[in-house]
A = this chain, B = another copy of it.
Amino acid sequence: MIPDEVFRSLAIQTESRLVMVVIDGIGGLPVRGKTELEAAKTPNLDRFTSKAVCGLIDPVSYGITPGSGPSHLALFGYDPFRYEIGRGVMEALGIDIPLSKDDLTARGNFATIDGRGIIVDRRAGRIPTEKNREICRFLGKEIKEVEGVRISIYPGKEHRFVLVFRGEGLRDNLTDADPQKDGLKAKGTEGLSQEARRTAEIINLYLKKANEALKSFHPANTVLLRGFSKIPHIPTMSEKFKLRPAAIATYPMYRGLARLVGMEILKTGETLQEEVETLKKYFDQYDFFYIHFKKPDMAGEDGNFKMKVKAIEEIDRILPSIFKLKPDVLVITGDHSTPTPLKSHSWHPNPILLFSNYVRPDRIRRFTERDCQRGQLSRFPAMDVIPLMLANGLKLKKFGA
Protein backbone atom coordinates (compact mmCIF):
# COMPACT_ATOMS: atom_id res chain seq x y z
CA MET A 1 0.00 0.00 0.00
CA ILE A 2 1.30 3.45 -0.92
CA PRO A 3 2.00 5.48 2.25
CA ASP A 4 0.03 8.73 2.59
CA GLU A 5 3.19 10.83 2.75
CA VAL A 6 4.24 9.51 -0.67
CA PHE A 7 1.09 11.01 -2.20
CA ARG A 8 1.62 14.22 -0.29
CA SER A 9 5.11 14.59 -1.71
CA LEU A 10 4.30 13.47 -5.27
CA ALA A 11 0.86 14.91 -6.05
CA ILE A 12 0.70 18.14 -8.00
CA GLN A 13 -2.20 20.32 -9.09
CA THR A 14 -2.68 20.48 -12.82
CA GLU A 15 -5.47 21.46 -15.17
CA SER A 16 -6.23 17.91 -16.28
CA ARG A 17 -9.78 16.71 -15.56
CA LEU A 18 -10.49 13.30 -14.02
CA VAL A 19 -13.96 11.75 -14.12
CA MET A 20 -14.92 8.64 -12.16
CA VAL A 21 -18.25 7.12 -13.17
CA VAL A 22 -19.50 4.75 -10.49
CA ILE A 23 -22.30 2.43 -11.55
CA ASP A 24 -23.74 1.13 -8.31
CA GLY A 25 -23.94 -2.66 -8.07
CA ILE A 26 -22.72 -3.11 -11.66
CA GLY A 27 -21.25 -6.62 -11.38
CA GLY A 28 -23.53 -9.61 -11.61
CA LEU A 29 -23.79 -13.35 -12.03
CA PRO A 30 -24.85 -15.36 -15.06
CA VAL A 31 -28.52 -16.18 -15.44
CA ARG A 32 -29.08 -18.56 -18.38
CA GLY A 33 -25.39 -18.12 -19.22
CA LYS A 34 -25.13 -14.34 -19.25
CA THR A 35 -24.51 -11.72 -16.61
CA GLU A 36 -26.54 -8.52 -16.64
CA LEU A 37 -23.68 -6.68 -18.38
CA GLU A 38 -23.31 -9.48 -20.92
CA ALA A 39 -27.03 -9.46 -21.68
CA ALA A 40 -27.22 -5.68 -22.04
CA LYS A 41 -26.80 -3.91 -25.38
CA THR A 42 -24.11 -1.33 -24.69
CA PRO A 43 -22.77 0.02 -27.98
CA ASN A 44 -21.28 3.13 -26.39
CA LEU A 45 -19.51 1.31 -23.60
CA ASP A 46 -18.19 -1.23 -26.12
CA ARG A 47 -16.84 1.45 -28.43
CA PHE A 48 -15.16 3.14 -25.51
CA THR A 49 -13.77 -0.08 -24.08
CA SER A 50 -11.80 -0.59 -27.29
CA LYS A 51 -9.88 2.63 -26.67
CA ALA A 52 -9.26 2.04 -22.97
CA VAL A 53 -7.45 -0.33 -20.63
CA CYS A 54 -9.59 -2.75 -18.67
CA GLY A 55 -9.43 -4.89 -15.61
CA LEU A 56 -11.29 -6.08 -12.54
CA ILE A 57 -11.27 -4.34 -9.19
CA ASP A 58 -11.85 -5.79 -5.76
CA PRO A 59 -13.77 -3.32 -3.61
CA VAL A 60 -12.11 -4.35 -0.37
CA SER A 61 -10.47 -7.76 -0.53
CA TYR A 62 -11.03 -11.22 -2.04
CA GLY A 63 -14.22 -12.62 -0.57
CA ILE A 64 -15.30 -9.50 1.28
CA THR A 65 -18.78 -8.17 0.49
CA PRO A 66 -18.62 -4.45 1.17
CA GLY A 67 -21.28 -2.02 2.26
CA SER A 68 -21.49 1.22 0.33
CA GLY A 69 -19.25 2.93 2.87
CA PRO A 70 -16.10 0.79 2.54
CA SER A 71 -16.56 0.29 -1.21
CA HIS A 72 -16.74 4.02 -1.81
CA LEU A 73 -13.86 4.83 0.55
CA ALA A 74 -11.72 2.39 -1.43
CA LEU A 75 -12.74 3.96 -4.73
CA PHE A 76 -11.89 7.38 -3.32
CA GLY A 77 -8.38 6.10 -2.51
CA TYR A 78 -8.67 5.25 1.19
CA ASP A 79 -7.97 2.00 2.99
CA PRO A 80 -11.41 0.77 4.09
CA PHE A 81 -9.85 -1.25 6.91
CA ARG A 82 -8.18 1.85 8.29
CA TYR A 83 -11.13 4.22 8.13
CA GLU A 84 -14.33 2.75 9.42
CA ILE A 85 -17.64 4.46 8.98
CA GLY A 86 -20.05 3.51 11.75
CA ARG A 87 -23.68 2.52 11.21
CA GLY A 88 -24.99 5.66 12.87
CA VAL A 89 -22.93 7.85 10.57
CA MET A 90 -24.02 5.87 7.48
CA GLU A 91 -27.69 6.27 8.43
CA ALA A 92 -27.19 9.97 9.02
CA LEU A 93 -25.49 10.39 5.65
CA GLY A 94 -28.33 8.43 4.07
CA ILE A 95 -30.87 11.05 5.06
CA ASP A 96 -28.61 13.99 4.33
CA ILE A 97 -27.91 15.10 7.89
CA PRO A 98 -24.88 17.37 7.94
CA LEU A 99 -22.38 16.09 10.53
CA SER A 100 -19.48 17.84 12.18
CA LYS A 101 -16.55 16.03 13.76
CA ASP A 102 -17.95 16.36 17.30
CA ASP A 103 -21.35 14.85 16.52
CA LEU A 104 -22.20 11.41 17.84
CA THR A 105 -24.76 9.47 15.82
CA ALA A 106 -26.84 6.37 16.44
CA ARG A 107 -29.30 4.29 14.48
CA GLY A 108 -32.57 4.00 16.33
CA ASN A 109 -35.63 1.74 16.27
CA PHE A 110 -38.96 2.44 17.86
CA ALA A 111 -39.85 -0.76 19.71
CA THR A 112 -42.43 -2.26 22.05
CA ILE A 113 -41.73 -3.22 25.69
CA ASP A 114 -44.09 -4.87 28.13
CA GLY A 115 -44.69 -3.87 31.74
CA ARG A 116 -41.56 -5.71 32.94
CA GLY A 117 -39.27 -3.94 30.48
CA ILE A 118 -39.00 -6.95 28.16
CA ILE A 119 -38.83 -6.18 24.46
CA VAL A 120 -41.74 -7.83 22.72
CA ASP A 121 -41.25 -6.31 19.27
CA ARG A 122 -37.95 -4.69 18.19
CA ARG A 123 -39.74 -2.94 15.32
CA ALA A 124 -42.87 -1.73 17.08
CA GLY A 125 -44.99 -3.58 14.53
CA ARG A 126 -43.26 -1.64 11.76
CA ILE A 127 -45.30 1.47 12.42
CA PRO A 128 -46.09 3.49 9.30
CA THR A 129 -43.50 6.10 8.30
CA GLU A 130 -46.09 8.83 8.88
CA LYS A 131 -46.56 7.72 12.47
CA ASN A 132 -42.76 7.60 12.87
CA ARG A 133 -42.52 11.25 11.74
CA GLU A 134 -45.15 12.26 14.18
CA ILE A 135 -43.42 10.57 17.13
CA CYS A 136 -40.06 12.06 16.12
CA ARG A 137 -41.58 15.56 16.03
CA PHE A 138 -42.98 14.96 19.49
CA LEU A 139 -39.77 13.49 20.95
CA GLY A 140 -37.67 16.20 19.35
CA LYS A 141 -39.67 18.87 21.12
CA GLU A 142 -39.87 16.94 24.37
CA ILE A 143 -36.14 16.26 24.77
CA LYS A 144 -33.95 18.95 23.25
CA GLU A 145 -30.91 18.38 25.42
CA VAL A 146 -29.43 16.29 28.19
CA GLU A 147 -26.76 17.80 30.43
CA GLY A 148 -25.83 20.42 27.88
CA VAL A 149 -25.66 17.96 24.96
CA ARG A 150 -28.12 18.91 22.22
CA ILE A 151 -30.13 16.07 20.77
CA SER A 152 -31.80 15.85 17.36
CA ILE A 153 -33.97 13.05 16.09
CA TYR A 154 -34.56 12.42 12.38
CA PRO A 155 -37.24 9.99 11.16
CA GLY A 156 -36.35 7.28 8.65
CA LYS A 157 -38.64 4.66 7.15
CA GLU A 158 -41.18 2.70 9.23
CA HIS A 159 -39.74 2.24 12.75
CA ARG A 160 -36.26 3.61 11.99
CA PHE A 161 -34.73 6.92 12.97
CA VAL A 162 -31.36 8.60 13.45
CA LEU A 163 -30.30 10.30 16.64
CA VAL A 164 -27.54 12.91 16.74
CA PHE A 165 -25.93 14.07 19.97
CA ARG A 166 -24.15 17.39 19.59
CA GLY A 167 -21.64 18.49 22.19
CA GLU A 168 -17.98 18.45 23.03
CA GLY A 169 -16.03 15.45 24.23
CA LEU A 170 -18.54 12.78 23.17
CA ARG A 171 -17.01 9.37 22.49
CA ASP A 172 -18.23 6.57 20.27
CA ASN A 173 -16.67 3.48 21.80
CA LEU A 174 -19.96 2.40 23.29
CA THR A 175 -21.91 -0.85 23.38
CA ASP A 176 -25.27 -1.00 21.59
CA ALA A 177 -28.28 -0.02 23.67
CA ASP A 178 -30.17 -2.80 21.96
CA PRO A 179 -30.19 -6.50 22.91
CA GLN A 180 -30.77 -7.29 19.18
CA LYS A 181 -33.43 -9.87 20.08
CA ASP A 182 -37.05 -9.94 21.22
CA GLY A 183 -37.72 -11.47 24.62
CA LEU A 184 -34.78 -9.79 26.35
CA LYS A 185 -34.76 -6.84 28.66
CA ALA A 186 -33.95 -3.47 27.15
CA LYS A 187 -30.57 -2.25 28.31
CA GLY A 188 -28.58 0.95 28.27
CA THR A 189 -25.22 1.55 26.63
CA GLU A 190 -21.85 1.12 28.31
CA GLY A 191 -18.73 3.14 27.70
CA LEU A 192 -15.80 0.98 26.63
CA SER A 193 -13.21 3.40 27.99
CA GLN A 194 -12.91 5.74 30.94
CA GLU A 195 -13.58 8.73 28.66
CA ALA A 196 -16.66 7.11 27.11
CA ARG A 197 -18.43 6.63 30.47
CA ARG A 198 -19.72 10.20 30.60
CA THR A 199 -21.11 9.81 27.08
CA ALA A 200 -22.83 6.57 28.14
CA GLU A 201 -24.40 8.31 31.12
CA ILE A 202 -25.84 11.03 28.91
CA ILE A 203 -27.27 8.49 26.47
CA ASN A 204 -28.76 6.43 29.28
CA LEU A 205 -30.35 9.55 30.74
CA TYR A 206 -31.81 10.25 27.30
CA LEU A 207 -33.19 6.71 27.14
CA LYS A 208 -34.86 7.13 30.52
CA LYS A 209 -36.48 10.38 29.45
CA ALA A 210 -37.54 8.91 26.10
CA ASN A 211 -39.17 5.92 27.80
CA GLU A 212 -41.18 8.22 30.01
CA ALA A 213 -42.20 10.45 27.13
CA LEU A 214 -43.26 7.48 24.98
CA LYS A 215 -45.43 5.73 27.59
CA SER A 216 -48.65 6.52 25.75
CA PHE A 217 -47.28 5.73 22.27
CA HIS A 218 -47.72 1.93 22.38
CA PRO A 219 -46.59 -0.01 20.28
CA ALA A 220 -43.77 2.54 19.86
CA ASN A 221 -43.21 2.87 23.61
CA THR A 222 -39.43 2.63 23.71
CA VAL A 223 -36.32 3.26 21.61
CA LEU A 224 -33.36 0.99 20.86
CA LEU A 225 -30.05 2.56 19.83
CA ARG A 226 -27.09 0.98 18.09
CA GLY A 227 -24.08 1.79 15.91
CA PHE A 228 -22.93 4.76 17.98
CA SER A 229 -20.35 6.50 15.83
CA LYS A 230 -18.67 9.72 14.87
CA ILE A 231 -17.24 10.55 11.47
CA PRO A 232 -13.72 9.13 11.07
CA HIS A 233 -10.65 11.39 11.09
CA ILE A 234 -9.87 11.17 7.43
CA PRO A 235 -7.63 13.43 5.36
CA THR A 236 -9.56 15.09 2.53
CA MET A 237 -8.85 14.21 -1.10
CA SER A 238 -7.48 17.69 -1.41
CA GLU A 239 -5.03 17.09 1.46
CA LYS A 240 -4.10 13.61 0.37
CA PHE A 241 -4.08 13.93 -3.43
CA LYS A 242 -4.12 17.72 -4.05
CA LEU A 243 -7.36 17.33 -6.01
CA ARG A 244 -10.24 19.77 -6.20
CA PRO A 245 -12.96 17.12 -6.07
CA ALA A 246 -16.70 17.37 -6.65
CA ALA A 247 -19.50 14.82 -6.34
CA ILE A 248 -22.67 14.31 -8.35
CA ALA A 249 -25.13 11.85 -6.86
CA THR A 250 -28.89 11.67 -6.61
CA TYR A 251 -28.93 9.75 -3.32
CA PRO A 252 -27.97 11.41 -0.05
CA MET A 253 -25.80 8.53 1.22
CA TYR A 254 -23.36 8.89 -1.67
CA ARG A 255 -23.25 12.65 -1.30
CA GLY A 256 -22.55 12.10 2.39
CA LEU A 257 -19.71 9.68 1.68
CA ALA A 258 -18.23 12.15 -0.77
CA ARG A 259 -18.52 14.92 1.81
CA LEU A 260 -16.57 12.77 4.29
CA VAL A 261 -13.51 12.91 2.04
CA GLY A 262 -13.93 16.60 1.40
CA MET A 263 -15.67 16.62 -1.97
CA GLU A 264 -17.79 19.58 -2.94
CA ILE A 265 -21.38 18.38 -3.36
CA LEU A 266 -22.92 19.67 -6.57
CA LYS A 267 -26.65 20.28 -6.65
CA THR A 268 -28.23 18.00 -9.23
CA GLY A 269 -31.57 16.47 -10.21
CA GLU A 270 -33.05 13.00 -10.12
CA THR A 271 -32.25 11.72 -13.62
CA LEU A 272 -29.10 10.59 -15.41
CA GLN A 273 -29.53 13.51 -17.79
CA GLU A 274 -29.61 15.96 -14.95
CA GLU A 275 -26.51 14.43 -13.39
CA VAL A 276 -24.59 14.73 -16.64
CA GLU A 277 -25.88 18.30 -17.10
CA THR A 278 -24.44 19.09 -13.68
CA LEU A 279 -21.09 17.60 -14.71
CA LYS A 280 -21.11 19.78 -17.81
CA LYS A 281 -22.03 22.89 -15.86
CA TYR A 282 -19.19 22.54 -13.35
CA PHE A 283 -16.62 20.92 -15.61
CA ASP A 284 -14.30 23.92 -15.52
CA GLN A 285 -14.41 24.42 -11.78
CA TYR A 286 -13.02 21.15 -10.39
CA ASP A 287 -10.41 18.67 -11.51
CA PHE A 288 -11.97 15.48 -10.13
CA PHE A 289 -15.57 14.42 -10.52
CA TYR A 290 -17.29 11.48 -8.92
CA ILE A 291 -20.59 10.77 -10.65
CA HIS A 292 -22.84 8.10 -9.21
CA PHE A 293 -25.52 6.12 -11.07
CA LYS A 294 -27.77 4.23 -8.67
CA LYS A 295 -30.31 2.19 -10.62
CA PRO A 296 -28.51 -1.08 -11.43
CA ASP A 297 -27.98 -1.70 -7.73
CA MET A 298 -31.67 -1.26 -6.96
CA ALA A 299 -32.64 -3.70 -9.69
CA GLY A 300 -30.01 -6.11 -8.35
CA GLU A 301 -31.40 -5.84 -4.82
CA ASP A 302 -34.85 -6.56 -6.24
CA GLY A 303 -33.50 -9.62 -8.04
CA ASN A 304 -34.88 -8.16 -11.26
CA PHE A 305 -32.50 -9.23 -14.03
CA LYS A 306 -34.40 -7.52 -16.83
CA MET A 307 -34.65 -4.27 -14.94
CA LYS A 308 -30.91 -4.31 -14.20
CA VAL A 309 -30.18 -4.90 -17.90
CA LYS A 310 -32.47 -1.99 -18.75
CA ALA A 311 -30.80 0.26 -16.16
CA ILE A 312 -27.38 -0.55 -17.67
CA GLU A 313 -28.64 0.18 -21.18
CA GLU A 314 -30.05 3.48 -20.01
CA ILE A 315 -26.63 4.45 -18.59
CA ASP A 316 -24.99 3.38 -21.83
CA ARG A 317 -27.15 5.87 -23.72
CA ILE A 318 -26.06 8.77 -21.51
CA LEU A 319 -22.31 8.04 -21.72
CA PRO A 320 -21.61 9.84 -25.03
CA SER A 321 -22.47 13.15 -23.40
CA ILE A 322 -19.76 12.47 -20.80
CA PHE A 323 -17.21 11.48 -23.48
CA LYS A 324 -18.02 14.71 -25.30
CA LEU A 325 -16.63 16.74 -22.40
CA LYS A 326 -13.25 15.16 -23.21
CA PRO A 327 -12.05 14.41 -19.71
CA ASP A 328 -8.30 13.75 -19.64
CA VAL A 329 -8.92 10.62 -17.61
CA LEU A 330 -12.18 8.72 -17.53
CA VAL A 331 -12.87 5.71 -15.36
CA ILE A 332 -16.05 3.67 -15.54
CA THR A 333 -16.55 1.07 -12.86
CA GLY A 334 -18.74 -0.05 -9.98
CA ASP A 335 -18.54 0.19 -6.21
CA HIS A 336 -19.51 -3.47 -5.73
CA SER A 337 -21.47 -6.23 -7.45
CA THR A 338 -25.18 -6.69 -6.81
CA PRO A 339 -25.98 -9.91 -8.69
CA THR A 340 -29.70 -10.42 -9.24
CA PRO A 341 -29.56 -14.08 -8.14
CA LEU A 342 -28.24 -12.93 -4.74
CA LYS A 343 -30.53 -9.89 -4.36
CA SER A 344 -27.76 -8.22 -2.36
CA HIS A 345 -24.26 -6.80 -2.52
CA SER A 346 -21.60 -9.44 -3.16
CA TRP A 347 -17.87 -10.02 -2.99
CA HIS A 348 -17.31 -10.35 -6.74
CA PRO A 349 -14.85 -8.07 -8.50
CA ASN A 350 -16.17 -5.40 -10.85
CA PRO A 351 -15.13 -4.47 -14.35
CA ILE A 352 -13.24 -1.23 -14.80
CA LEU A 353 -12.13 0.72 -17.81
CA LEU A 354 -9.70 3.61 -17.79
CA PHE A 355 -9.24 5.97 -20.69
CA SER A 356 -6.56 8.61 -21.10
CA ASN A 357 -4.08 9.69 -23.75
CA TYR A 358 -1.46 7.51 -22.08
CA VAL A 359 -2.92 4.01 -22.16
CA ARG A 360 -2.04 0.97 -24.19
CA PRO A 361 -5.52 -0.10 -25.32
CA ASP A 362 -5.72 -3.77 -24.55
CA ARG A 363 -7.96 -5.10 -27.29
CA ILE A 364 -10.89 -5.78 -24.99
CA ARG A 365 -14.10 -5.21 -26.92
CA ARG A 366 -16.86 -5.38 -24.32
CA PHE A 367 -17.28 -3.94 -20.84
CA THR A 368 -18.26 -7.12 -19.01
CA GLU A 369 -16.89 -9.03 -16.06
CA ARG A 370 -15.47 -11.80 -18.25
CA ASP A 371 -14.04 -9.58 -20.96
CA CYS A 372 -12.38 -7.16 -18.60
CA GLN A 373 -10.65 -9.98 -16.76
CA ARG A 374 -8.27 -10.29 -19.71
CA GLY A 375 -7.40 -6.59 -19.63
CA GLN A 376 -4.05 -4.99 -18.93
CA LEU A 377 -5.10 -3.57 -15.59
CA SER A 378 -5.52 -7.15 -14.44
CA ARG A 379 -7.29 -7.67 -11.11
CA PHE A 380 -6.40 -5.11 -8.47
CA PRO A 381 -7.68 -3.38 -5.32
CA ALA A 382 -10.17 -0.53 -5.80
CA MET A 383 -7.90 1.62 -3.62
CA ASP A 384 -5.40 1.80 -6.49
CA VAL A 385 -7.85 3.41 -8.91
CA ILE A 386 -7.16 6.96 -7.74
CA PRO A 387 -3.34 6.59 -8.00
CA LEU A 388 -3.82 5.30 -11.55
CA MET A 389 -6.11 8.20 -12.44
CA LEU A 390 -3.66 10.71 -10.98
CA ALA A 391 -0.81 9.16 -12.98
CA ASN A 392 -2.81 9.23 -16.20
CA GLY A 393 -3.70 12.86 -15.55
CA LEU A 394 0.03 13.57 -15.09
CA LYS A 395 -0.70 14.64 -11.54
CA LEU A 396 2.00 12.56 -9.84
CA LYS A 397 5.70 13.36 -9.89
CA LYS A 398 8.37 10.69 -10.09
CA PHE A 399 9.04 8.70 -6.92
CA GLY A 400 12.73 8.71 -6.01
CA ALA A 401 15.60 9.63 -8.30
Identify which of residues 1-52 in chain A touch chain B, using a CB-to-CB cut-off of 8 Å.
1-3, 6, 10, 29-30, 35
Given contacts A56-B376, A370-B362, A374-B374, contact A400 B6 (CB under 8 A): no
Known: A6-B81, A61-B387. 10 other contacts (CB 8 A): A1-B61, A6-B64, A56-B378, A63-B384, A68-B400, A70-B399, A70-B400, A87-B401, A363-B370, A370-B376
Stretch at the interface among A158-166, A204-212, A297-305, A344-352: A344-352
- Interface membership of A342, Cβ < 8 A: yes
A269 CB-CB contact with B under 8 Å: no
Cα-based distance from A102 to B147 in the complex (angstroms)? 54
Give the residues from 244 to 283 in chain A that come closer than 8 angstroms, CB to CB, to chain B: none
Task: Report whether A63 and B390 are in contact in the complex, using a CB–CB cutoff of 8 Å.
Answer: yes
CB distance from A382 to the nearest CB of B (A): 11
Residue A375 at the B interface, CB < 8 A? yes
Q: Does A154 count as interface, using CB distance less than 8 angstroms?
A: no
Contact partner of A80 (CB less than 8 A), chosen from B64, B68, B80, B400, is: B400
From 39 to 84 in chain A, residues with beta carbon under 8 angstroms from any chain B beta carbon are 56, 60-70, 80-81, 84
Interface flag for A167 (CB, 8 Å): no
* Residues from chain B with Cβ under 8 Å of A60 in the complex: 399
Interface residues on A, range: 35 or more
Is A401 within 8 A of B63, CB to CB? no
Judge if A322 is at the interface, Cβ distance under 8 Å. Answer: no
Residues of chain A touching chain B, judged by Cβ–Cβ distance below 8 Å, are 1-3, 6, 10, 29-30, 35, 56, 60-70, 80-81, 84-85, 87, 90-91, 227, 339, 341-342, 344-349, 358-363, 369-370, 373-380, 384, 386-392, 396-401
Q: Is the pair A399, B65 in contact by a Cβ cutoff of 8 Å?
A: yes
Contact between chains at B387 and A64 (CB < 8 Å): yes
Please list 5 pairs of residues, one from A and one from B, whose beta carbons are closer than 8 Å in the complex, sorted by A's number: A35-B360, A64-B399, A84-B400, A373-B374, A374-B374
Q: Which residues of B contact A398 (CB under 8 A)?
A: 65-67, 344-345
B2 lies within 8 A of A81 (CB): yes
Residues of B within 8 A of A90 (CB): 400-401
Q: A373-B376, A376-B56, A379-B378 are in contact. Are A399 and B66 (CB under 8 A)?
A: yes
Q: Which residue in B29, B35, B68, B370 is a CB contact (below 8 Å) of A401?
A: B68
State the Cβ distance, A310 to closest chain B Cβ, in Å.
21
